[in-house]
Structure 1
Amino acid sequence: MRPARHCSGLVLASLLLGLLLPACAGPAAAAELAPTLSVKTIRGSRIAFQNGIPVPTFSYQPRRRLDLSGRWRVQPMRMDNDLSLAARSSALKRIVADAAGRDQSTYDDTTWSTIDVPGSYNPPPTAAGSGAWYRKDFDVPPDWQNQTITLKFGAVNYIADVWMNGHYLGYHEGGSTPFAFDVTDAVVPDEVNTVAVRVDNPPWGTRQDIVPWGLTDWWNYGGLTQPVWMEATPAVFAVRADVVPHLDGADIAVTLHQRGGDSTPAQVGLDILPATVDPANLTNPDPVSLIPAGALPLASQRIDGGQIGRDGTIAVHAAFSLTNADLWTPQSPALYVLQVQVFWQERLVDQIFETFGLRRIAVDSTSPRLLLNGDPVAYAGVALHDERVYPAVKGEPRGGPVVTPDDILILLDKANASHIQLIRADHHPANPLLLMLADRLGYAIWEEIPLYHYTPATFAIAMDRGIPQQMLSEMDLRDMNHPSVLFHGLANESTGGIERQQALAALHNLDRSIDGTRLTGQAAYGNQPDDTSSRPLDVAGYTTYYGVFYGPDAGPGTARAIQVAHATYPKKPIIIVEYGRWSDSAAEEEEQRRILADTYEAAAPYLDTNTGGFLGAAVWWTLDDYWTQRPGVKIEHFGLYKPSGDPRAAGLQAAALFSGGAGQGARQGIVSTATGQPRQPAARGLRFLGYLAYALTVALAIPAVILLGLLFVRRRPRQAVAS
């Protein structure tokens, strides 16, 4: 076993990194770039807007669609990070001047390299530059004339400025969540069009005002990392449909928008249809592919949406009672399809489809345990990265963002072989492909925003800027209809007492106001099981590395920590969000296996499914090895599996210890059923709660103390703190 880090050094270093790193990098101008997501109250409903339009659905829709993924022109370069984070009211002219025509359709980019989108301009092992320009020429079909055209990005890491045919559309900050623009006036149907994107991905550890801010334990893939596409709709169309599931039905909110036009009445038709998943449709993103041939609606309703004014947006609310419905669980992932039809002047003008499941995750009101659909649950979990591993290259993970369902299936097949039931989706919002397959196959998901190793100072900066709130809102809005998402993580291994607790409380309240169907938590340091900062959250989560980073023994240390955590939170479920150990060589596999076995066996008596249990999950770090930008470390070998796909001893041990039962949805042949009828919708609106700024005081530390703290900032003896 390698020497464990000192806990006091860990805490000290976390507090002081925020002071030292920016000092090493030189002064940076304070970020003035404002969040782009806001909320409006319209007829009593709170509706999210971004870039001048209501936030749309980003799920696949069987509409007129133009996929802009594939080959793009790219020119990596070092960007001016201060300029990228400056308010566009003052910075746009300089950004355009620095572009030197790259934003214009007439620019000659033929000497540039080409790149696949989705993808990244900085794959490992080298990280060149801090940004890149992307450009693509494409034809727009002639029948898109007189249509409303929306340009959608799955994600761009980290700051994107976008132009269409030389027209500036706007910007977005945040590397894992989607955004969209109305490009109706900028696109020319039946002609060649050009989209240009300026991407800046400021290096982590160089400034305190980006999210995440410091050195992290994964690869910082920059660029257009998720798909890009356009959709065409009529002037009156369905923007999105959000489903709030219950065990006996569902509440539905449909957002409608009219671009231009005069005030006009609109009606909405709603159908709930059965769904089935099989190997043939498992990876098909179109919800229509899940509807059995000839299937009839299980419940239907037609609603008068009222008048929509010129450039107007409204929300239409409905509800259904469903009896004898099939509920979603990892062991039996039953799904339904919602069909939304929009009628204007008695004509069907638009429709969208959303997949959803009926489930309820909650904390038992009589004991501190998790209940899924009223039954106690406890999950064996694993963390995975949004990174391609297979096929390995010279014995190393392939690298690059996950871009296809098959990439995800390779990961989930290994998770299934190790009897995993819950996936922790890295330290940032999950890849939508993972959520689609988790819904269909049956895996519980913990996803989170990247407040990673935050301090009192960096919490204050981030929350004052509003970027964590925007990231959480975008994640919530994107993933509303995914039944697999049971947990929202709000921070990882961060420090600060009241400062952290206030930030977590604000984020919890925001999450509850938008969604309310998931449980909130964080990953607090496990060597401080009496940490009280999880008080505002639904569950108390910890990273637990006894016998690895602290404490001489994995088993007794873990058991004592669980008992202290329970005494600290007697009414909350405890979750081990992370435990693990590296295996850099075959000689270390046995020690890795022992840590897994000793930790899990120490935790098992406390699982929720046992009488008096209060432990909801234990999540191994990680499924696979992964690339990292930690100084002195190239690849982390924490995986249950080698890059070749072969299990390590710990992977075999996991399969022997964990009960499994999840991930079988495509083989079960479930065809969801129910008897449904309309009911009065519950009084519910989308409520965004403002964050009250709080003042923090950061004490100065002498250089010797800073250096002393940094000596202990390592995940293991050669690197920094664990994930």
Structure 2
Amino acid sequence: MVIGTRWLQALALLLCVCGVRADPGDILQVHARDAIRLDGEWRAIVDPYENGYYDYRYQPFDQREEPPAGAFFTDAKPRQPWELVEYDFDRSRTLQVPGDWNTQDPKLYYYEGSVWYRHTFDAPARRDDDRVFVHFGAVNHRADVYLNGRKLGVHEGGFTPFHFEVTGRLRPGGNSLVLKVDNKRRADAVPTLNTDWWNYGGITRPVSLLVVPAVFVGDYRLALDSLDDREVAASVQLDGARGGEQVTLALPELGIHETVAADASGRADFRFRAPDAELWSPENPRLYRVDVSSGDDRLADRVGLRTIGTRGKTLLLNGAPVFLRGISIHEEFAVDGGGRVRDAAQARQLLLWAKQLGCNFVRLAHYPHSEDMVRLADELGLMVWSEIPVYWTIDWENESTYRNAEAQLEAMIRRDRSRASVIVWSLANETPVSPARNRFLTRLATAARALDDTRLLSAAMEKHYRDDDPDVAVVEDPLAELVDLVSFNQYIGWYDGRPEKADRVRWEIPYDKPVFVSEFGAGARHGRHGAAHEIWSEEYQEDLYRRTLPMLDRIDGFVGTSPWILVDFRSPRRQLAGIQDEFNRKGLLSETGERKKAWFVLQDYYRRKAKGTH
């Protein structure tokens, strides 16, 4: 059905006034385009009582047809000498975007609440029928977005991208883009109230303007579908299409140039052979240029071709057994007092540390990391586990909580499903078994399979012990029936007995699937030394690693591990003065990048695994 242009314009105006939620299924390929970055200094107002959003009767200003000047999103100035306006962005503090507010201002270190951000810009040059979008890499946690005093919409979820179309809403100059950013924790949110990482607030990833034709390439996906004959499956989704548009996909280095017509929904499907393609792997992270075009629109990207799968208890990369020499990583870079990773340079340093450790795999915990991280992993030859923050105990019975989790899952998968590095989508971490939880995660697993069936599905589960034998650790969970990789966290020697317990534990895992140990570890303050039995010493952590790795090797079907964690990271749960000082100390590196003794134990283990001499 074709809808009249005037009706669409009227609907757009209504949605602009009332506000809409960003659609997680609607992806813009920002990294494959020339975008106008709006990063840098933004004006900011800290608003713990949300006086810029609610009146004194606690009624939202943005639900009025004509919001008053006192609503911060109007970015108003007094029009008369006697007019009362109790804020002024022009005289307010500044915060860097991208960046968290916690580490930019000591007064905001523990702050959880609302901060208003404002940035002014001129409209970009464009043709008459071009369209303009404003794109956000991530904002933690809820973002209410306004342009020139009118609401564009709302996005919830602190780690996934979103955007709004602003065509027809831009002034030639002096456009005012305002966000109310709220990082308050909520029981019904994803993640929920209780986590073991810092709740960094702010516009933590880049903000961009994109100018595109009326009909443009909104998204694409490409994957090696068949290893034997190098058959590639791809699809392109046009935005604004009516059907019949010609869509071209090319991999020039492989001599591939295919054109098909889009269907009525704007989708074009491709299937072709690439017999001369080198397969992507950690040893040879080969990327090929891919060009996608339709009409006046072009995007250029780089992709790798590989397969990932399982056969019984064997994990297969490009049809050959592979062992995952992994490490877990938080998206934090605390060197020089920093917080949330701000740019590609910081992301690269984290991944280079993993490479120096001997890793071919990283678990990006406990939420979707930036697009820079996964694209750099493509380049560096690191396989990736990517997950959403369904963490510990969330509100399993709440339908809105489920919808938010699924939206984050969809945004993560759609953004990164053409990245060769990503081999595992993870649904959850350490969630206690219950009927409600099982239903929730079953729905997520079904959604993930529908979005992408070319990768493995997993989740970080938990273990327990047999009642009749306390030395037999059991991994048995209804979720294990739904996933491809049986993954679990275990902390024998830290939360569970002394390190020597690892010497006698045996494992019972009743699934004909590969087994991956997604976490183990112990806390140690860098530079603190003592006997191997002295907790918090580097020697204690070192001894735990020496005992744990042989224990893991005895597990039937063991295909890899991602110990917890690469670098010490901030957490308000970790309050032991003089040792933790609000850092989780399980890192193999200190928060400033200094190596602890356990680093060398794992590095040696991985070197021997890589040589096949273990």
Q: Which residue of 2 aligns with 1:368?
A: 313
Structure-2 change in CA distance of 1:416 and 1:251 (3 Å): same
Alpha-carbon deviation of 1:167? 2.1
The counterpart of 2:149, out of the listed 118, 142, 166, is 166
Structure-2 change in CA distance of 1:230 and 1:139 (3 Å): same
Q: Which residue of 1 aligns with 2:298?
A: 351
Structure 1 position 113 matched with structure 2 position 56: no
Q: Which residue of 1 aligns with 2:261?
A: 304
Equivalent position amino acid for 1:122 in 2: N
Q: Which residue of 2 aligns with 1:202?
A: 184
Structure-2 change in CA distance of 1:579 and 1:273 (3 Å): farther
Is the contact made by 2:20 and 2:152 (CA closer than 8 Å) also made in structure 1? Answer: no
The counterpart of 1:583, out of the listed 524, 536, 540, is 524
Q: Which residue of 1 aligns with 2:496?
A: 550
Is the contact made by 1:341 and 1:350 (CA closer than 8 Å) also made in structure 2? Answer: yes
Alpha-carbon deviation of 1:549? 1.0
Structure 1 position 256 matched with structure 2 position 256: no
Spell out the pairing of 1:458-469 with structure 2 (5 A cutoff).
458-461=395-398, 465-469=402-406
Q: Which residue of 2 aligns with 1:655?
A: 603
Structure-2 change in CA distance of 1:320 and 1:559 (3 Å): farther
2:194 counterpart SS class: coil
Is the contact made by 2:391 and 2:431 (CA closer than 8 Å) also made in structure 1? Answer: yes
Q: Is 467-476 or 98-107 further displaced after alignment?
A: 98-107
Alpha-carbon deviation of 1:449? 0.6
1:538 counterpart SS class: coil
Alpha-carbon deviation of 1:183? 0.4
How far apart in 2 are the matches of 1:117 and 1:619?
31
1:437 counterpart SS class: helix
Is the contact made by 1:444 and 1:485 (CA closer than 8 Å) also made in structure 2? Answer: yes
How far apart in 1 are the matches of 2:248 and 2:164?
27
TM-score (norm 1): 0.72
Is the contact made by 2:564 and 2:587 (CA closer than 8 Å) also made in structure 1? Answer: yes
Structure-2 change in CA distance of 1:91 and 1:616 (3 Å): farther
Structure 1 position 409 matched with structure 2 position 351: no
Structure-2 change in CA distance of 1:389 and 1:595 (3 Å): same
How far apart in 2 are the matches of 1:79 and 1:172?
21
Structure-2 change in CA distance of 1:114 and 1:80 (3 Å): closer
Structure-2 change in CA distance of 1:264 and 1:576 (3 Å): closer
Is the contact made by 1:76 and 1:129 (CA closer than 8 Å) also made in structure 2? Answer: no
Structure 1 position 224 matched with structure 2 position 196: no
Structure-2 change in CA distance of 1:504 and 1:186 (3 Å): same
Structure 2 segments unaligned to the other structure (5+ residues)? 1-17, 78-87, 466-473, 531-536, 576-580
How far apart in 2 are the matches of 1:525 and 1:439?
30
How far apart in 2 are the matches of 1:273 and 1:614?
41
Is the contact made by 2:414 and 2:451 (CA closer than 8 Å) also made in structure 1? Answer: yes
Is the contact made by 1:555 and 1:601 (CA closer than 8 Å) also made in structure 2? Answer: no
Structure-2 change in CA distance of 1:483 and 1:660 (3 Å): farther
How far apart in 1 are the matches of 2:197 and 2:608?
28
Q: Which residue of 2 aligns with 1:694?
A: none
Is the contact made by 1:137 and 1:193 (CA closer than 8 Å) also made in structure 2? Answer: yes
Structure 1 position 378 matched with structure 2 position 323: yes
Q: Which residue of 1 aligns with 2:81?
A: none
Q: Which residue of 1 aligns with 2:7?
A: none
Spell out the pairing of 1:230-309 with structure 2 (5 A cutoff).
230-246=209-225, 247=227, 248-258=230-240, 265-274=244-253, 298-305=255-262
2:457 counterpart SS class: strand
Equivalent position amino acid for 1:302 in 2: T
Q: Which residue of 1 aligns with 2:266?
A: 314
How far apart in 1 are the matches of 2:28 and 2:352?
29
Spell out the pairing of 1:129-148 with structure 2 (5 A cutoff).
129-143=112-126, 145-148=128-131
Identity of aligned residues (%): 28
Q: Which residue of 2 aligns with 1:43?
A: none
Cα distance per residue 1:323-346 (max 9 Å; x no partner): 132111112111122201112xxx
Q: Which residue of 2 aligns with 1:3?
A: none
How far apart in 1 are the matches of 2:69 and 2:564?
42
Structure 1 position 540 matched with structure 2 position 463: no
Alpha-carbon deviation of 1:409? 2.1
Alpha-carbon deviation of 1:556? 3.4
Is the contact made by 2:519 and 2:564 (CA closer than 8 Å) also made in structure 1? Answer: yes
Is the contact made by 2:324 and 2:361 (CA closer than 8 Å) also made in structure 1? Answer: yes
How far apart in 2 are the matches of 1:79 and 1:381?
44
The counterpart of 1:151, out of the listed 134, 140, 144, is 134
1:351 counterpart SS class: strand
Equivalent position amino acid for 1:537 in 2: V
1:199 counterpart SS class: strand
Is the contact made by 1:559 and 1:603 (CA closer than 8 Å) also made in structure 2? Answer: no
1:454 counterpart SS class: coil
Q: Which residue of 2 aligns with 1:294?
A: none
Equivalent position amino acid for 1:134 in 2: Y
Structure-2 change in CA distance of 1:158 and 1:557 (3 Å): farther
Spell out the pairing of 1:605-644 with structure 2 (5 A cutoff).
605-606=554-555, 613-630=556-573, 632=575, 634-644=582-592
Q: Which residue of 2 aligns with 1:93?
A: 63
Spell out the pairing of 1:369-518 with structure 2 (5 A cutoff).
369-390=314-335, 392=336, 398-454=337-393, 458-461=395-398, 465-518=402-455
Q: Which residue of 2 aligns with 1:328?
A: 280
Alpha-carbon deviation of 1:555? 6.0
1:60 counterpart SS class: helix
Alpha-carbon deviation of 1:583? 0.3
Is the contact made by 1:268 and 1:340 (CA closer than 8 Å) also made in structure 2? Answer: yes
Structure-2 change in CA distance of 1:400 and 1:371 (3 Å): same
Aligned Cα RMSD in Å? 2.7
Alpha-carbon deviation of 1:245? 2.4
1:435 counterpart SS class: helix
Cα distance per residue 1:347-404 (max 9 Å; x no partner): xx1111232211111121xx212111111111121111111132x4xxxxx2321122
Cα distance per residue 1:453-498 (max 9 Å; x no partner): 126xx22226655111111011001111111111111111111233
The counterpart of 2:508, out of the listed 564, 587, 591, is 564
Alpha-carbon deviation of 1:650? 0.7
2:413 counterpart SS class: helix
The counterpart of 1:57, out of the listed 23, 28, 51, is 28
Q: Is 471-480 or 653-662 further displaced after alignment?
A: 653-662
Is the contact made by 2:134 and 2:166 (CA closer than 8 Å) also made in structure 1? Answer: yes
Cα distance per residue 1:71-130 (max 9 Å; x no partner): 10111222569x99xxxx988427996982321244531121111100012238721241
1:400 counterpart SS class: coil
TM-score (norm 2): 0.84
1:486 counterpart SS class: strand
Is the contact made by 1:389 and 1:626 (CA closer than 8 Å) also made in structure 2? Answer: yes
Structure 1 position 122 matched with structure 2 position 102: yes
1:460 counterpart SS class: coil
How far apart in 1 are the matches of 2:113 and 2:317?
44
Cα distance per residue 1:438-459 (max 9 Å; x no partner): 000101111111011126xx22
2:593 counterpart SS class: coil
